[in-house]
Amino acid sequence: MNLILLLVIGFLIFIGTYMILSVNLIRIVIGISIYTHAGNLIIMSMGSYGKNKTEPLIGTANQNFVDPLLQAIVLTAIVIGFAMTAFLLVLVYRTFRVTKEDEIDVLRGDDENNE
């Protein structure tokens, strides 16, 4: 199970990096959103389940429990990631409304583009 989770995290980081290196602003925002999902999976993978590695439920005595701190951190990270994605989408929308461009190369303002 840990190998599958590691492969999924690696794949998400690969796809996020590919999207961020794009010239389209929407793809950059999607890439950042994918990075937040990969970060959430990394935080979740740090949690360890009880002594017997069983499901994350509170059991009898001190068996079969999970530290709820990681779950609270992931929930907070999901909310922050959603807020950041919403802010970036509004920023991209406003940039498009003002400049009528959605590619970062045109927005860069190099001297080569002005000649």
Q: Which domains does the chain have, with CATH numbers?
A: 6-56+63-110 (1.10.287.3510)
Position with higher pLDDT, 63 vs 96? 96
Phi, psi of 80 (to 5 degrees): -65, -40
- 13: CB partners within 8 A, 6+ apart: 35, 38
Position with higher pLDDT, 55 vs 85? 85
pLDDT digits (tens, 9 = 90+) for 56-93: 555 555 565 666 788 889 999 999 999 999 999 999 99
* AA identity, residue 22: S
At 87 the pLDDT is 96
Whether the per-residue pLDDT at 55 is higher than 60: the answer is no
